[in-house]
Structure 1
Amino acid sequence: MTRPRRHLPGQVVAITRRCFDRTFYLRPDGTMNAIALYVFANAAQTYDIKIHALVVMSNHIHLIITDVKGRRSEFMRDAMCLITKARNEDLGRKDYLWEGGSYRETLLLDRDALERKLLYTWLNPAAANLVERAHQWPGAIILPCDWGTSIDIPKPDVYFGRKSPELARFTPQPPPGFDASSLDTLTAHFEALLADAEDDLITTRENENRQVLGVEKVLATRPLSKPKTASRRSKINPRFASRNAALLVAAIARHRAFLTAYDHERQRWLKGKKRVEFPCGTVWLRRNSPVKCRDPDAPEAGMACTM
């Protein structure tokens, strides 16, 4: 049994989901881009998710979101399922698309962690030596220049039936914690940070005499192929992100207390005890069983209102 997740309204989270066996099922093309944007737009509207950044790489995705109502588990469930069905129909296959287990998430505890994760997400195509700059990536991507602008995505030509809306509309939102800045100022700030980071990557690449693959070769990659190199992905999956040691210690302590309380109440619930009250943030049982959960405590680090 997997350990329970603790999802609270207002948490700011970095999410990653990888394809099975690192296969390039999500390789950019017109259909794949339309599927990803259409699905995420509809799911974000359904579950009240604010999307701040998105990059759909050839074999994994990155998202930075604010989970307004604590429903990102349902958001990811629906989005991953629909992307699988639509892309499989497009590729003429019937099998797993995503790696085993669930998506990975990291709670961003403060503004510094949020800035670093946003840059990490946008820099993925450049850091992988696929293109020089993020805006050149031919796959689905949401950058600072997209914040505050409504995007209309027509229904893809595969899988989605007559009951699916003909048009999905959503508006990428700037990240929390910058209320004192105008949208133009905030956009310019992050575009400058991104450009500086891209310049550093370009300089490093030139010094090491490495080349980018380029858009043409990215688009020519076969969707059923996979990397020839061994995976360098770390097995460490940080649950929280912050350089502030006190914030990290407090977040870990809250999570441990949540697990302890959850296990205690679950054992009582399995024994048929009455007046069982699960800790706030319980996801699966709250959604699938008529259980009561405690109300949220005061806002804590990692929530949009505390950024």
Structure 2
Amino acid sequence: MSQPREIAPGATYLVTRRVLRRHLLFRPDAAINQLMLYVLAVSARRYGVEVHAFCMMSTHLHLVVTDVHGVLPRFLQFFHRIVALGTKVLRKWEGPVWDHEATSVVRLLTQAAVVEKIAYVLVNPVAAGLVRHASEWPGARVDVGEIGRGVLHAARPSVYLDPKNPQWIEEAMLPLALPPGIDQGNADGFRHQVAAEVERQEALAHAEAERQGLGFLGADRASEIPPYERVTSFEVLRKCNPTFAVGREQGDARRTAAAAVRAFRASYRVALERSRAGVRSALFPAGTWWMRTFHGASVNDVVLST
């Protein structure tokens, strides 16, 4: 059984989900880029989720989003389902699209964490040895300069989505929001921070490639690989699956966050044991989502975590 997770309105997350057995089903091309962007735009609007950054790799997808209304599980269920069904039609693929492992959801608790994880998302193609600079990646992605002022557009894909269904509008728009706590007055400063972190992480990726004597595949070659191929290089997956991130050199914030997670889980377990014992008045901690949504459990209004 997985650990209980607090779902808090207004929380910002790094979300990662992988393709089954590292198949290259998201190999970048115009059709898959259009599908991904359109479905993300429709899903974000449907659930009121703010999108800050994303990058579609050939084998996985990264998002940095803020869950304004505390409905992240609903958003991810809808988004991942439609992406998978559209991909199956587009790629003429039978069987699952997503890996059987649970989606990685990491709550970003500080501005430092948001800056670092947005940069991590954007630099992913460089770290993977695909392109030398993040801006060269041909997959669906965000540029640093678009955060907080860009609006992406995608026409409805011609595959899977029924044009007669009103939820599949002809063109979807995806505004790229600033993270919470960043207003337009300091938006340029925030983008400069992200750009500097992108440069730092790119330099680390270049140094690692040089150390290993490796080059970069290049955007053209990455786009030509058949989507039914698999990545065969060794990769250690899910050595750890963190719940939160606070950024580098944030020791105090890390300790505070870890204590809050432990308190939430302890309170949740006590309430769950009482509920299983037949105590209908068992009070779950604020941020409890599954038990409230599917079992009508009572939830405390007092937030334990920050």
TM-score (normalizing by structure 2): 0.90
| Number of matched pairs | 300
> Deviations for 1:1-52, whole angstroms, at most 9, x for unmatched residues?
3332111111121111111111111111111111111111111112221111
Q: In 1, distance between residues paired with 2:157 and 2:184?
A: 39
Decide which of 270, 281, 286 is 2:276's aligned counterpart.
270
Q: In 1, distance between residues paired with 2:225 and 2:55?
A: 18
CA gap of 1:269–1:222, structure 2 versus 1, over 3 A, is same
Q: Which position in structure 2 is the counterpart of 1:253?
A: 259
Q: In 1, distance between residues paired with 2:205 and 2:296?
A: 52
Q: Which position in structure 1 is the counterpart of 2:250?
A: 244
Verify: 1:281 aligned to 2:299, yes or no.
no
Q: Which position in structure 2 is the counterpart of 1:186?
A: 190
Verify: 1:213 aligned to 2:214, yes or no.
no
The answer for unaligned runs of 5 or more in structure 2 is none
Partner SS, residue 107 of structure 1: strand
> Deviations for 1:180-229, whole angstroms, at most 9, x for unmatched residues?
74434433443344245435544664576532111111111111111121
> Deviations for 1:117-147, whole angstroms, at most 9, x for unmatched residues?
1111111001111111111111110122222
CA gap of 1:220–1:282, structure 2 versus 1, over 3 A, is same
1:83-232 map, 5 Å: 83-147=83-147, 148-161=149-162, 162-163=164-165, 164-179=168-183, 181-199=185-203, 201-202=205-206, 205=209, 209-232=213-236
Q: Which position in structure 2 is the counterpart of 1:293?
A: 299
CA contact (8 A) 2:285 2:303 kept: no
CA contact (8 A) 2:116 2:197 kept: no
In percent, how many aligned pairs have the same letter?
28
Verify: 1:63 aligned to 2:63, yes or no.
yes
Amino acid at match of 1:88: K
RMSD (CA atoms): 2.1
1:37-48 map, 5 Å: 37-48=37-48
Verify: 1:78 aligned to 2:84, yes or no.
no
Q: In 2, distance between residues paired with 1:274 and 1:39?
A: 39
TM-score (normalizing by structure 1): 0.89
Partner SS, residue 265 of structure 1: helix
CA contact (8 A) 2:120 2:198 kept: no
Q: In 2, distance between residues paired with 1:289 and 1:274?
A: 10
Amino acid at match of 1:20: L
